[in-house]
Amino acid sequence: MAENAAAILRGLAGREVAPVRAPDLWAQPGIWYPLSPRLRAKAVAGAAPLGDEGPRLALGAPPETEIERQPLQARPRYVVAGKNVLLAGQRALIDPGDPDIAESGAAEPVLVNDVLLLPAPFFDQSRPLSAFPREFRMTHGVSRAGERLGISADAHLAPPIETPVVALGSTESRNYGSWLFRILPKLLLLDEIPEAAGRALLMPMEAEWMREIVAAAAPGRDVIAQDVTAITPLADCLAPSLAAPGNVFPSALRRALTGFAARLAGPASSARGAGRRLYISRRSWSKTAPRRILMNEDEIVTRLGTLGFEEIRPETLPLGARIAAFQEAEVVIGPSGSGLFNCVFCRPGTTILELEPHGGFRPMHQSLYRSLGLAHGFLRGEIVSPGPAPAHPNWRIEAEAVLRIAEACAAR
């Protein structure tokens, strides 16, 4: 494929590419199922109830502010294998079909990513593409128009990769929080896929924190930096699905994450136990990336300090010290965001109070923390002014309410 990748991409320009449908994949777990001439998939794990969710943190909020709580269920997991395929952007594999398709009438090009093969009710494959307005964003070279996906004529082509790889990228792959609930879980559960042994890891490696996580989670493993702004020809690849679709961490992932966190925090952290009260600050981000600014955060930090809460800025800590801080916490309070997502490293039973400007992130965040066995609750503030996007307004929250609930959390 290395020799004719550019020609293949030119032949695809402007043509429709169809999402793969595989309704029979889950009928035979562990058996490779053909998706197309160059793609196949295998069910790795089925759906399973968790049974050990974190308790609801009762905050005395009015009923209309609470999300209806249903028992959580871990989603199924699968892996896709491809030979001589294209990796588009962060996570989409494309079988380009026959480069002479117009003349030969060979198979049409198809696309698959790390969620498209999930069975109902976790992903409804019968719904039209327009029902998933954000699903194909961050998929370089692929655009959606109505019910059609197409390959762009101006897509950037990266150098081909001939080495067998495991492609671990996912959506929002430049976001630290997204790494904690999308990419790190794939890495920690690679042992579920025997075929992945010995392969190089293909993943985004642009930032120092990315390299730090990979070095800790997969020491000694060969790593190839993924260009998420390009279409990359791959000779031989495996691509695991999300390990925690819907942000529900399955039991196997919880065990792997617990072991990873304990190893990175070190024996001294384990000996100290959980007793710290943490406030996860966004004050640095408010200056460098002014969005979702908590306008009265200075006051919140000062008031919580009277209850023994220490302000930490996770982005300033080395990975081991960052994990140790959350391992040693008994109560964590902070605004929604990547910093608070470090709570994936907390011990089960830790109390998490999430401060938020709106309820848009509640279902996703609630599933994440509950599935990790954390006692989690929300406290909502009020929007003060619009931010750069509807999801990121500037806001404030009543300090007295935060203090009152913090006292109750500390007394649990």
Supply the pLDDT for residue 133: 65
CA dihedral 230, 289, 312, 59 (to 10 degrees): -100
The pLDDT score that the predictor gives to residue 69 is 62
pLDDT at 67: 46
Q: What is the pLDDT of residue 44?
A: 96
Give me the pLDDT at residue 103, please.
Answer: 47
- Calpha distance 328→394 (Å, rounded): 31
Write down the pLDDT at residue 129: 79
Give pLDDT, residue 190.
97
Give me the pLDDT at residue 407, please.
93
Q: 70: Cβ–Cβ under 8 A, 6 or more apart, which residues?
A: none
pLDDT at position 383 is: 94
In the chain, which stretches have pLDDT less than 50? Answer: 60-68, 101-105
Q: What is the DSSP annotation of 40-89? A: EEEEEE--EE---PPPB------GGGSPPP---EEPPEEEEEEEEEEEET
pLDDT at 151: 85
pLDDT at site 188: 97
Phi, psi of 111 (to 5 degrees): -135, 145
pLDDT of amino acid 332: 97
Q: What pLDDT digit, counting tens, does each position of 296-307 carry?
A: 999 999 999 999
Record the pTM. Answer: 0.92
The residue to which tokens 């060969």 are assigned: 222
